[in-house]
Amino acid sequence: MYRTVFTTIVLFLFTALNAQNIIQDSILADSSAKVNQEAVIKQTILMMADAERLRVQDSLRLAHLEQQLDKLHNRDSKEHLKLQYELDSIRSVDSLRKANLLASVSILRNNVNGVPVTLGQDTICYIYTSLGQFSPADRAEASMTKIKDIAKKYGHPIDSLRIIDTGSNSMIAYGDQVLLNITETDAAWLNQSREQLALQDRANLYNAIKAYQKETSFTNRLIQVALCLLVIVVQILLVKGVNYLFSHVIDTRIKAQRNKRLSGLKIKNFEVLNSDREVNTLLFMSKLFRYFLNLVQFYISIPILFSIFPETSHWSAILFGWVLTPVKKIITSFVEYLPNLLTIIIIVIVVNYIIKLLRYFTNEIAAKNLIIPGFYSDWAHATFNILRFLIYAFMFVVIFPYLPNSQSEVFKGVSVFIGLVFSLGSSSVISNIISGLVITYMRPFMMGDRIRIGDIQGDVVEKTPFVTRIKTIKNEVVTVPNSSILTSNIINFTSNSQSDGLIVYTTVTIGYDAPWKQVHQLLIEAALRSEYIEKDPQPFVLQTSLDDFYVSYQLSAYTKTPSKMAYIYSQIHQNIQDTFNEAGVEIMSPHYRSQRDGNETTIPSNYRPEDYEAPEFRVKASLDEQNEMDITNAIHPN
C-alpha cells in the first residue's frame, strides 16, 4: 500500500512539473514573438523615415533639373542629354522607393494606429507618419488648432479652401494658413495617391467646419440649454419617483408582512433570523438598492448633459466608456473564454463521476460487502481520502492552463506566495496528517478500544486526521496529537480480548509460614468470585520470587470486558481479603531478626515433626552479673 501511494505521488509531481515547464515554454515563446514583432515595426518605421527624407531631397533635385532643362534651347546638346539622364534616374529611383514604401506600409498597417485630426464630433483624417522633426501627434495637434481657429470665424467663407501641390507634398490651405500637409507616405498608408487623398481630406474638412459652425450657432445654443434643463428636470422627477416607490410602496409592504410571510429564517432547528431581523434586513437591502438606482440615474444623466454641448461631448464618451468598456471587455472575454470554460466543466464532471465510483467501492469495502484479501475494511475511507486528494490535485494541474490569466506574472506570484505561506505555517499540521494516515494503516487501535499511551489510559472516542481523543475512567477527554502517538508505545487492551481474553493480574506478598498451596487456592477462589472473570480458562497463580521475608504470588485471570478493568481489579482485591480472612491466613510480610531462640520456626506446620516444640530461650550471665542478681533477690525477696 505504501508503495502504491508513493508511486502515485511521484507521478503527480512529475505531471505538475511537466505542465509547469510547458506553460513556461509557451510564455517564453509568446514574449519572444512579441519582442521580435516590436523590433520589426521599429525598424520599418526608421526605414520609412529615411525613405521620406531621401524622397524630399530627390524632389528638390528633380525640380532643379527641370528648371535647368527648361533653360537649355538645344535639346541635342550633351548637357541636355546628361540632365535628362539624371532626371530619368531620379524618377526611376523614386518609383522604386514608392514600391518599397507601399510594401513597408502593408507590414505596419495592422499594427500601428494613426492619430486622428478631429473637429467637434467629426474626424477629418488620420496621420500615421512623422514629418521632419514632428511626430504624428505633433502634426495632428497643430492641424486641429488651426482648423478650430478657422471654424470659429463664422463670417468668413470656407469655400476658399484650396490645395497647393509642391511636387512632393499636397497642402490644404485657407488663406495663407496651411491646415493639412499630405505626403506620399500619408497617401501610401491609405493605399491612395497623394492627389486623391488631398481631395478627400479637403471635402472632409469642409463638411466638418460646416457642421461645427451649425452646432455652435446661437439657435443651437438655446436648444442645447433647453435640453439641458429638460434633462435636469427629468432626473429630479426620476429620483423623487424612485424614492417614493421604495419608501411608500416597497418598504410599506415589507413592514406589513412582519410575523406573516416574514416569520423568520430557520435552518433545521437553528434560527438564523427572527421576524424583526428579517424585516430590518430587507429594509436595509431596499435602502441600498434605492441608493444604487439613484447613483445609476445620476451617472447616466451627466454624460447625457455633456453630450448636448459639442465642447463637452468627448467627456460624455469618456464617462460612458468607463462603464461600457469594462462591460464590453467582460462580455468579450467571457465569450472568448467559453471554449476553455466548457473544457473545465467537462473535466470537473468526469472527475466527479470518478469520485462517485470510488465512493461506491469505498462504502462497499467498509460495509464488508466487498472483500479484498490483505485490505482491511477500516482502510477504505482513509484510502478514499488519499485517492480523492490526488485526483483533485491532478485535476487542478490539468485545469490550470485553462484558467483566465493563469500565465500572468501576478497570478504566478500569488500562487508562489500562497504555497510559501502554506509550507511555512503548516509543518506541524502536515506532520499530524501524515501520522494519522500511518496510524490508520498500522491499525494499533480501533474506535472504542481501551488503550494506554504513555500515562494516559482510556477508551478511544474519536479519530481525526489531526488528533485522537481518549476518554479516561474519570470521564476526562484527553486530546493527543497523532504525531505524539506515532512516537509513543501503544498498549491495546481490547484487540485480543474477545478471542484470547485479556489477562488481569495482581501481586500479593505472603509470609513463609503460610502454605503456598493454600495461598494458590485462596487466590484462585478470590478471582472466581469476581463478576467479569472468565471461568474457562481458569485463573492461575505464579510465584514470581522468594524474597528474604516473604513470597510474591501473582494472581492472573482472564476477562473479555477490558472496559471494566478498574471495577475488576477492585473486586479481586476485595475478594482476596475476604477469602484470606475466612481461611485465617494473615496477609502480611513479616520481617525477622537473626535471634531464633524461643521463637517458633516459620516452616509450615504440615512440614514439621509431630513432636515439634518451640525451643526455650537460652540466657547466660557472667559471675558479676550473677552476684548482683543474688544481692537484689536477697534485698527484695518478693
Encode pLDDT of 352-365 as tens digits.
999 999 999 999 98
List phi, psi (to 5°) of 174. -125, 110
State what percent of residues in the chain have pLDDT above 90: 23
Alpha carbon dihedral 184, 186, 192, 197, in 10-degree steps, equals -100
pLDDT at 579: 92
Instruction: Estimate to the nearest angstrom the gap between the alpha carbon of 363 and the chain centroid.
Output: 30
The model's confidence at residue 596, banded by pLDDT at 50, 70 and 90, is: low
The model's confidence at residue 574, banded by pLDDT at 50, 70 and 90, is: very high
pLDDT at 452: 92
Single out the residue of 213, 211, 210, 228 nearest to residue 307, CA to CA: 228
Residue 92 above 70 pLDDT?
Answer: no
Residue 375 above 80 pLDDT?
Answer: yes
The model's confidence at residue 121, banded by pLDDT at 50, 70 and 90, is: confident
Per-residue pLDDT averaged across 90-102, rounded? 63
Residue 169 above 90 pLDDT?
Answer: no
Per-residue pLDDT averaged across 95-108, rounded? 62
The model's confidence at residue 316, banded by pLDDT at 50, 70 and 90, is: confident
The x, y and z cell numbers of residue 317, run together, are 464618451
The x, y and z cell numbers of residue 37, run together, are 514583432
Radius of gyration of the CA atoms of the chain, in A: 54
Residue 33 above 50 pLDDT?
Answer: no
Residue 408 above 60 pLDDT?
Answer: yes
- The one-letter amino acid at 401: P
| Cβ-defined contacts of 331-340 (< 8 Å, 24+) | 333/404, 337/404, 340/402, 340/403, 340/404
Residue 625 above 70 pLDDT?
Answer: no
pLDDT at 245: 92
Instruction: Estimate to the nearest angstrom the gap between the alpha carbon of 564 and the chain centroid.
Output: 49
Listed in sequence order, the DSSP H helices in 216-312 are 218-244, 251-256, 275-308
Beta strands in 482-524 (DSSP E): 490-492, 502-511
The x, y and z cell numbers of residue 16, run together, are 505538475
More confident residue, 193 or 33: 193
More confident residue, 36 or 180: 180
The x, y and z cell numbers of residue 261, run together, are 410571510
pTM of the predicted structure, to 2 decimals: 0.48
Q: Which residue has the cell 474519570?
A: 474
The x, y and z cell numbers of residue 473, run together, are 475512567
| Cβ-defined contacts of 14-21 (< 8 Å, 24+) | 15/394, 15/397, 16/393, 16/397, 19/397, 19/398, 19/400, 19/401
Per-residue pLDDT averaged across 398-420, rounded? 75
> Among 232-241, 391-400, 414-423, where is mean pLDDT lowest?
414-423
Per-residue pLDDT averaged across 461-484, rounded? 90
Residue 125 above 60 pLDDT?
Answer: yes
pLDDT at 629: 60
pLDDT at 220: 81
The model's confidence at residue 319, banded by pLDDT at 50, 70 and 90, is: confident
The model's confidence at residue 23, banded by pLDDT at 50, 70 and 90, is: very low
Residue 285 above 90 pLDDT?
Answer: yes
pLDDT in tens, 127-159: 888 877 788 888 999 988 888 888 877 655 556
Report how far residue 568's alpha carbon sits from residue 506's, in angstroms, rounded to the nearest whole number: 11
More confident residue, 608 or 280: 280
More confident residue, 152 or 28: 152
Per-residue pLDDT averaged across 278-283, rounded? 89
pLDDT at 630: 62
pLDDT in tens, 65-75: 666 666 665 55
Residue 481 above 80 pLDDT?
Answer: yes
- The one-letter amino acid at 619: V
Residue 99 above 70 pLDDT?
Answer: no
The model's confidence at residue 91, banded by pLDDT at 50, 70 and 90, is: low
Residue 344 above 80 pLDDT?
Answer: yes
Give Cβ neighbours of residue 479 (< 8 Å, ≥ 6 apart): 467, 468, 469
Alpha carbon dihedral 69, 72, 77, 79, in 10-degree steps, equals -50
Residue 3 above 50 pLDDT?
Answer: no
Q: Tell me which architecture the domain covering 434-492 has in CATH.
A: Roll (2.30)
Residue 271 above 70 pLDDT?
Answer: yes
List phi, psi (to 5°) of 206. -60, -45
Residue 522 above 90 pLDDT?
Answer: yes
Note the CATH number of domain 502-583. Answer: 3.30.70.100
Report how far residue 460's alpha carbon sits from residue 464's, in angstroms, rounded to the nearest whole number: 11
Alpha carbon dihedral 575, 576, 581, 582, in 10-degree steps, equals 60
List phi, psi (to 5°) of 437. -65, -45
pLDDT at 25: 47
State what percent of residues in the chain have pLDDT above 70: 73
Instruction: Give me the chain's average pLDDT, please.
Output: 79
Per-residue pLDDT averaged across 526-548, rounded? 92
